[in-house]
Structure 1
């Protein structure tokens, strides 16, 4: 059949109401713009350097040893055991690998599976903003209403009264991302204590995204919310090997929850993706046994890049907010005279040759500070960052 001969139709009418309520990923869009204009990509948070030989060799070994068929839907036993052992080692958490861990196709799928498993249409989900751009659409896909609480620069702390006011009888869950993307904020004990108190008071689930747990600077400590009194069973922890082991393309994430909640998450995961790549799960299990020196070197590696970018961006004229964790820098664009972060980001990619993410993609429509920031990522080779700085000096 020649489809060109058919009458012209507006096929947009077939898009669902849910699909119309959010846009495509701005981060991934900026990567495409970077490619089109041969810009240096400091937008999307993936390393441009190789992962360790040891984790790559473990993946090759797993393939050659024929770990190439379906794994158990909720994760290979070796990986679940390794996740449980790592959490005992790092946080003294006792987790049952048979009943409390679900391995997913990245933390992105882990978040969707978790929300589908726990949220009902009409529920409210509290989300701190600026937020990782997936959280709002994820809540909408579940039929929930996102309720946003502002993180205020320059510390990106929340106002206690604003958070308290966000909780109600309709609140089903709160999403906490610490260390935070895009701000680099690490939630402190006082902030987590208040969140825990409110979750217990209103019988609310806490869903924590802790993917940057090992990328923290200046001797600051990551505190898993699940370690706080009364929070072990009501916290759902989402994590991934992507950032810690520099394998963002492997898509190996996991969710830790109580046995009862894990049952629901596993059902959702099963029908979303069936399972994550079997040989890569074996390699991930091996990586989780890396010595403490691996994580120390990781922090040193990113600390050097953070400090380099903070110094150079300030010299160019950006007002940067110093991140305590993750590998992003939020930079105020006011001094350059641009009032719209999207226009400025496109200008940087198309004319200057450096791609960044406009900060508005991390905020709801009517938020304060929506167009004030752009986000740089620094998970790159030092030569890449130096080349980007050289191009950005055109702004002086």
Structure 2
């Protein structure tokens, strides 16, 4: 009998291994650590949202919905964006419901990036951006945000633009640094891109987590950006249901048409009862309007506790992350410090070096404060030993 064998396969993503998020979460479980590494809440969503989904199931909304998403949810997204940003996206031709923001981003990339195209990413950046570009056959052009402040450096972005640039991916509020782009930042980007055909993929999943009176500056607010942007957001982040994996994309009709060509074949559509539940729940704007204050209180609780340690607090302007400088605490590199912290003190964090292609180590780690108050207090009690 001939021996069976598995054919050798050249990896499409040879540089991708087990992510730091998986490693740190597994280590946290092994050591009984408080997991402030991976970015998801440890508290429940509003019971009314669960009830709305249950009602949708009982009412028979359990078969395929339209490919682009159910009309009531697309209309709710359009109405919300118009109310917040002053621009209406046509729910029929310009809003698409997606299987989370991560699927939305790769679908946008696959829709517009061809082999040889360049795509600018601003490091540190979310870990899916680079593999998405590589899967599309594009060339990644890395531009660092300013070390220390994580502000966009428009001179460096301008220098990175070339005739081959197809798109730039931006993210505000920013993961991992918790910085928020200002109106002036968005105007600068709009002016820089005006003479080009460069597209924008604007990752705005933390849009409702902005603090200290700031406003989220969506690409939707700037006509020159709105006309060239895929605007991506997440119901999971906004409504504390990250495991549901439901998001949306708003884009001009010609871009949406190309987006949906890919979307219909890599996802087709998104689960029906949750779409109906979300559409019903969005009739009340209070949950997302109250979100900044909800997370600012958690941020302030966490920052007050950290201030008693030798960790140096960096600003947290938005998102649900807090970065700290570890220079006064340890000589270890970021990644080794996070391993030590998990094993020794029982608190898991993520090294910022994981968000850079070259592993740039600036002695900064990231905590997630989207946790119950008692979870944060337990973590702070342990971190007080630093």
Q: TM-score, normalised by structure 2?
A: 0.95
Q: What is the rounded CA distance, in whole Å, between the counterparts of 1:279 and 1:392 in structure 2?
A: 42
2:373 corresponds to 1:379: no
* Alignment partner of 2:207 out of 210, 213, 230: 213
Which residue of structure 2 lines up, in the alignment, with residue 394 of structure 1? Answer: 385
Distance 1:33 1:195 in 2: 40
Q: Specify whether residues 15 and 386 from structure 1 end up closer, same or farther in structure 2 by C-alpha distance, changes over 3 A only.
A: farther
1:107 maps to which of 76, 101, 107? 101
Q: CA deviation at 1:245?
A: 0.6
* Stretch moving more, 118-127 or 376-385: 118-127
For residues 327-349 of structure 1, the C-alpha deviation after alignment (integer angstroms, 9 at most, x for no partner) is: 00111111122331111111111
Change (3 A) 1:300 1:136: same
CA distance in 1, matches of 2:155, 2:92: 40
Deviation at residue 280 of structure 1 after TM alignment:
0.4
Distance 1:297 1:190 in 2: 26
Q: Contact conserved, 2:239 with 2:287, CA < 8 A, in 1?
A: no
Contact 2:154 2:189 in 1 (8 A): no
Matched, 1:19 2:10: no
- Deviation at residue 121 of structure 1 after TM alignment: 1.1
How far does residue 13 in structure 1 lie from its aligned partner after superposition?
4.1
Measured in 2, the distance between the counterparts of 1:242 and 1:112 equals 17
Question: How far apart are 1:168 and its partner, in Å?
Answer: 1.1
Q: Which residue of 1 aligns with 2:149?
A: 155
SS at match of 1:14: coil
Which one of the candidate residues 247, 256, 266 is aligned to 2:250?
A: 256
Q: What's the CA shift for 1:295?
A: 3.1
Deviation at 1:22, TM superposition (A): 2.5
Aligned partners of 1:240 and 1:254 also within 8 Å: yes
What is the CA-CA distance between 1:371 and the residue it aligns to? 4.6
Q: Give the match for residue 179 of structure 1.
A: 173
1:218-367 correspondence runs (5 A): 218-291=212-285, 293-365=286-358, 367=360
Q: How many Å separate the matches in 1 of 2:80 and 2:149?
A: 30
User: 2-side partners of 1:28 and 1:311: how far apart?
Assistant: 29
Task: Confirm or deny: 8 A CA contact 1:149 1:158 kept in the other structure.
Answer: no
Q: What are the superposed Cα offsets for residues 120-155 of structure 1, whole Å, 9 maximum, x if unpaired? A: 111111111111111111111111111122222443
| 1:288 shift after superposition | 2.1
Question: Structure 1, unaligned stretches of length 5 or more?
Answer: none
Could you tell me how far apart the structure 2 residues matched to 1:12 and 1:88 are? 53
Distance 1:296 1:266 in 2: 30
| Contact 1:167/1:202, CA 8 A, preserved across alignment | no
Which residue, 26, 33, 43 being the options, matches 1:32? Answer: 26
243-252 or 306-315, larger mean C-alpha shift: 306-315
Shift of 1:219: 0.5
SS at match of 2:202: strand
The answer as to whether partners of 1:113 and 1:268 remain within 8 angstroms in 2 is yes
- Verify: 1:167 aligned to 2:161, yes or no: yes
Determine the C-alpha separation between the residues in 1 that align with 2:353 and 2:54.
Answer: 41
Equivalent-residue separation in structure 1 for 2:253 and 2:26 (angstroms): 41
Selected match of 2:133 from 139, 143, 148: 139
The residue number in structure 2 matching 1:193 is: 187
Equivalent pair of 1:120/1:142 in contact (CA under 8 Å): yes
- Secondary structure of 2:357 counterpart: coil
User: Please, which runs of 5 or more residues in structure 2 have no aligned partner?
Assistant: none
Q: Give the C-alpha shift of residue 6 in structure 1.
A: 5.9
Task: Confirm whether residue 46 of structure 1 aligns to residue 9 of structure 2.
Answer: no
CA RMSD of aligned residues (A): 1.9
